[in-house]
Amino acid sequence: MRDIHLVPVSYFPSENLEFPMITNLQTITPNPLFYVRNHFEYPAIDINTWYLSIEELVSQPLKFTYADLKNMNKVTLSATLECAGNKRSLFEKKAQGNQFKLGAISNAIWGGVRLKDVLVQAGVSPSATEIVFEGLDYGQRNDMDGQVFFERSLPVAKALHPDTLLAYEMNGEPLSDKHGFPIRLIVPGWYAIASVKWLHRIRVVDQPFKGPFQSIDYVILKKENDYNHALPLSPVLINSTIASPTEEEEMAVGTNLVEGYAWAGENSVTKVEISTDGGTLWAEANILDPDVPYSWRRWSFAWDSQEPGPYTIKSKATNDRGEVQPLKAEWNVKGYQNNSIHAVNVHVISPNLVNSVLH
Amino acid sequence: MRDIHLVPVSYFPSENLEFPMITNLQTITPNPLFYVRNHFEYPAIDINTWYLSIEELVSQPLKFTYADLKNMNKVTLSATLECAGNKRSLFEKKAQGNQFKLGAISNAIWGGVRLKDVLVQAGVSPSATEIVFEGLDYGQRNDMDGQVFFERSLPVAKALHPDTLLAYEMNGEPLSDKHGFPIRLIVPGWYAIASVKWLHRIRVVDQPFKGPFQSIDYVILKKENDYNHALPLSPVLINSTIASPTEEEEMAVGTNLVEGYAWAGENSVTKVEISTDGGTLWAEANILDPDVPYSWRRWSFAWDSQEPGPYTIKSKATNDRGEVQPLKAEWNVKGYQNNSIHAVNVHVISPNLVNSVLH
């Protein structure tokens, strides 16, 4: 009888919806619950006229129809996509932009073709340094005149990686309009801004790409407007989220489950530790999923909480390179890459409270 | 193409969903977007065996079937329902319980019969002081053993008020299962905890009712566990919410609309003022709805924001008794009745930012 809803963050000018982190743990996010992050209005696409164009520093510019791509060698892989602004609202000092909480992240099985298979057909020039991906979504930005298409670039090496996909399927279904039909670039292990939706043009270039979604947004700015020192986003950082209990939740005395997700981008999650005393003592959680590259792992911890009172529960993940979540991720102007140890305050309630108050 | 979703706050042990305050302003909340607040699992109700029972200090105990009630004189009225915990998460010091943001409030047209019409038929004893309302929802609490039904009481005077309804319709449709089918008590101007859903028993009593939803929850506690000094909730306080823009939103230079809702419980909203400089200067917003008793009023303010930079926008409502929202509502342990002046931080963006950075 529950209606499981996406969590709206904004509807205008573009629709942004979080995965409901408070629902039951699920390794594969069902398509209707996969988070939605847009920068513009949804584009209208006619699949009969759509094609994917490979242009500029290539031996042979090429155009691929939807049928062309579906006739190529198909691969599937699981990948967690996380918005770089996930947990932005958890920074103590507020950062501008959509106030994402815990759910700007989801996990799916992507089906499609390797990007390198189309790039190799076109023949990438040896002088190429970056590949620029243009979506069909466009519109106006607050910070410039005119209209722009959504564009992002990748270094050639990541573009040619065999796990970088041109996806036309999401969990076995054709990609939906909201998730980038007909083709979404999937860049496993990188913040999801790289995974361009509604892809229609790929340009091979030999200059650093400077579009506003590459140079103004999605950069790490330590000081307001200090774009001379802006740093690019790193690959997805080691991170974990406590899905249950939730902030300020009241719980019964007894054994309560603490559970959630941990992810590590291009690396592997090797350990998740839980503290129920605010971070002094730590115990290992059970990891519930196998180590699948690029994919989050569910974890669970049975907390024996016999004593009523307030508690701060924390989760801390470690990856196979020994990297551990920091107590506090470094604040940045735009609020990206928040991988602080996740803390949730809860209240364990005495089973005798009503009796003691009323009798 | 937008999917307008309720905002999930919790699914277990009970479902709690907020109205999406970020959608277009609407005086009457569409039924699918009306906020949902539960304390237990949804009850299963068989309308063929259901009846409403009037018991204890009455001349004649009575039972009303659904058909009996629908054959009585029907009245309709508009009333905003607000959860006492609405805006709990906005208290600076966190308060335990569901972390409601702005949307634990909605407005509907309720159709049904006057509660006094059934009470008068049964004959309320002159010794009666309170009327106790029992819903069919029940379950276990963290703070006591065993199972309890949801029960709340009203003073006799409020129960006999002609605007206190036994509602079977919400916006012209039969009340849905989630909103209290077959009958929801509607207590206009009071926090919605009084508006008992799935009503099935009414008891007329001469002692203060002490059930846990009356004495433990939904009381104003200044200190943890200080139940000897607990105060009952007041009727709904003067309040307002900025629905747009939202926290940390980025806006273009130019005229931007600031808009939202104001409400005053049993009183009338007479004025809404907006500050865009953090609370020094105030200007009156346009109130968009007529003054309908018990019902929120939409308001709008055209903000001429020519200068890029960060701004704090505030809204402040006044009622017909001259009561004004406080700068900071008094914190209480359970986080009720937060009617602080609403503040939203936004960023006005220079239209030349991209040019200045990239060229």
What integer pLDDT is reported at residue A1 of this predicted model? Answer: 60
CA dihedral B257, B263, B269, B273 (to 10 degrees): -30
Cross-chain CB nearest to B96 (options A9, A250, A355): A250
Q: Which residues pair with B81 in a beta bridge?
A: B106
Task: Please report residues of B whose CB lies closer than 8 A to that of A94.
Answer: 247-248, 345
CB A205 within 8 A of CB A141: no
- For residue B94, what is the nearest residue in chain A, using CA coordinates? A248
d(CA B151, CA B135): 6
Q: How far is A333 from chain B (nearest CA, A)?
A: 11
pLDDT above 90 (res A13): no
Query: Phi, psi at residue A147, to the nearest 5°?
Result: -110, 150
Copy the structure tokens of residue B339: 């009617």
Q: How far is B289 from chain A (nearest CA, A)?
A: 23
Closest CA to A266 of A322, A159, A190: A190
Unique residue bearing structure tokens 């065999």: A162
| Domains identified in chain B and CATH numbers | 7-217 (3.90.420.10), 239-358 (2.60.40.650)
Query: Phi, psi at residue B116, to the nearest 5°?
Result: -65, -30
Three-state secondary-structure class, residue B152: strand
- For residue B345, what is the nearest residue in chain A, using CA coordinates? A96
Query: Binning pLDDT at 50, 70 and 90, where does residue A357 land?
Result: confident
Query: What is the C-alpha end-to-end distance of chain A, expressed in Å?
Result: 37
The DSSP secondary-structure symbol of A120 reads H
pLDDT above 80 (res B359): no
d(CA B53, CA B69): 12
Taking an 8 Å cut-off on Cβ atoms, the answer to whether A248 and B144 are in contact is: no
- Tens of pLDDT, residue by residue over A76-110, are 999 999 999 999 999 999 999 999 999 999 999 99
Q: How far is A23 from chain B (nearest CA, A)?
A: 7
Q: What is the mean pLDDT of residues A246-273?
A: 97
- Tens of pLDDT, residue by residue over B91-122, are 999 999 999 999 999 999 999 999 999 999 99
Copy the structure tokens of residue A141: 């930005």
pLDDT above 80 (res A358): no
d(CA A308, CA A349): 5
Q: What is the mean pLDDT of residues B201-221?
A: 97
What integer pLDDT is reported at residue B12 of this predicted model? Answer: 86
Task: Please report residues of A whose CB lies closer than 8 A to that of B103.
Answer: none
Q: How far is B41 from chain A (nearest CA, A)?
A: 9
Q: What is the mean pLDDT of residues B198-202?
A: 98
Copy the structure tokens of residue B204: 């007329």
- C-alpha to C-alpha distances, B146 to A39, A252, A352, A355, B201, nearest whole angstrom: 51, 13, 11, 12, 20
d(CA A11, CA B249): 12
CB A6 within 8 A of CB A17: yes
Taking an 8 Å cut-off on Cβ atoms, the answer to whether A2 and B11 are in contact is: yes
Query: Binning pLDDT at 50, 70 and 90, where does residue B1 land?
Result: low
pTM equals 0.94
ipTM confidence: 0.90
Copy the structure tokens of residue B240: 């307002």
d(CA B36, CA A52): 45
- C-alpha to C-alpha distances, A268 to A264, A306, A320, B78, nearest whole angstrom: 5, 34, 5, 56
Task: Please report residues of B whose CB lies closer than 8 A to that of A350.
Answer: 143
What is the torsional sign of CA B61, B62, B63, B64?
negative
